[in-house]
Amino acid sequence: ELILGFAKGYATDVGINGENLSGGQRQQVALARALYGMPRLLVLDEPNSNLDADGERALLAVLDRLKQAKITVVMVCHKPSLLARADKLLVLKEGSVAAFGSRDQVLASVMPAKVIAMGARRERA
């Protein structure tokens, strides 16, 4: 809906000299472009870094739909709300693999239980 409201739609310039878009709007346009044609693999780097609460909810809904469609998503993220959508996690430390496995297994090994519980509570809110 957001993109269709722009005069140039999907062709809206999101670069430095582009339209007067917020960081979150640029991210949403870029994500919509990346999803065009339903790719089998999608790589996202901090896809929620500039999103407001509504934008993040929309992103989480998109991630859920991608999972249902069996589209592989490789995502760099730090927020627990996005980690909750992952099946597997890879943790890098100084360029080397520090942990890899199921989400719950990796989170339990690298994060205190209190932090994991806080993320789960936020996710339900």
pLDDT tens digit sequence for 15-54: 776 667 778 888 888 888 888 888 999 999 999 888 889 8
Looking at the fold, whether 62 and 110 belong to one and the same domain comes out as no
Q: How many domains does the chain have?
A: 2
Looking at the fold, whether 69 and 91 belong to one and the same domain comes out as no
Looking at the fold, whether 96 and 40 belong to one and the same domain comes out as no
- The H or E element that residue 41 is part of is strand 41-45
Looking at the fold, whether 11 and 68 belong to one and the same domain comes out as yes
- The H or E element that residue 75 is part of is strand 72-76
The pTM (predicted TM-score) of the whole model is 0.72
82 part of a folded domain: no
* Cα 104 to Cα 86, 100, 111, distances in angstroms: 9, 11, 10
Residues present in the chain in total:
125
Looking at the fold, whether 56 and 8 belong to one and the same domain comes out as yes
Looking at the fold, whether 58 and 109 belong to one and the same domain comes out as no
Looking at the fold, whether 67 and 91 belong to one and the same domain comes out as no
| Segment 88-122, tens digit of pLDDT | 999 888 999 999 999 999 988 877 655 555 555 55
Assign residue 46 a region (left: φ > 0; alpha: ψ between -120 and 50; beta: otherwise): left
Containing structural domain, residue 98: 87-125
- We report the CATH number of the domain holding residue 23 as 3.40.50.300
